[in-house]
Amino acid sequence: MFKIDPSRLDVAREFKAKPFGEHSPELQYVLNYMRTRVTPDFHVLVMTEPGKRWVLAHMPTGGGVPRMTNQSFDKLEDAEWHVFKLRWKDITGQDLPID
């Protein structure tokens, strides 16, 4: 089974540069790994201003009222990168040394 290799910072950099659109096979595997994990809740975005502002929230798996965080974004790309870093740390136990 595929596992995330925490030394592959190139893959993380690729995601940061282009979170949407065509990904390398390595990056796609990393994303699939992150997105197929079974967790009690998962990250979602709550749009507070149409097309302008999104607040990060935790959604209970199976449904429920989302719990808002105080983290908000005005670009979807920034939200994706923020969550990617959280998941990288959660899975590999290591902080991503990339801003």
Partner 1 sequence: MTKIMGYADRLSLQPGETVGIMASCIGADRFRAEIVRLLNPNAGMGASEYREVAIETPANATYKAREQKIHAGSFGVVPEKWALRGIESFTLQAYVWPTTPKKGARALMGNWAEPGTGFGLALDDKGAAEIRIGGFRLSSGVPMLERRWYLVAASFDAKSGQVKLWQEPIYDKTFHAERPVAVEGKAKASVADKGAPFLFAAWRAGESKTPTGWGRLLTKGHFNGRIDRPRLARIALDRAQIQALASGMLPSGVEEKVLGVWDFSKDISGERITDLSPNRLDGEVVNLPTRASPGHNWTGAEMNWTKAPEQYGAIHFHDDDISDAKWQPDFSFTVPKDATSGFYAAKLVADEAYFYVPFFVRPTRGTVKAKIAFLASTATYTVYANNRSRFVRMLTELYQGRLSMMDNVDILQFEFPEMGVSTYDRHTDGSGVSISSRLRPVTNWKPHGRLWNYCCDLFIVDWLEHTGLGYDVITDHDLHAEGQDLLRPYNVVITGSHPEYWSLEMLDALDGYQRQGGRHMYMGGNGFYWRIAFHPTNPNIIEVRRSEDGVRAWDARVGEYYHQFTGEYGGLWRRQGRAPQVPTGVGFISQGFDACSYYRRTDQSRDPRVAFMFEGVTDEILGDFGVLQGGAAGLEIDCADFSLGTPPHALVVAKSENHSNTYILVAEEINIGHGALDAVQNAAIHADLTFFETPSGGAVFSTGSIAYAGSLPINGFDNNIAKLTTNVLKRFVDDKPFPMPR
The CA-atom distances, in angstroms, between 96 and each of 12, 68, 78 are 8, 24, 15
Closest of 16, 9, 26 to residue 79, by C-alpha: 16
Pick 2 or 97: Cβ nearer partner 1: 2
Pick 61 or 94: Cβ nearer partner 1: 61
- Residues forming contacts to partner 1 in the complex (CB under 8 A) are 19-23, 28, 31-32, 35-37, 39, 42-52, 54, 59, 61-66, 76, 79-80, 83
Give dist(CA 76, CA 56) in Å, integer. Answer: 11
- Distance of closest approach, residue 9 Cβ to partner 1, in angstroms: 21
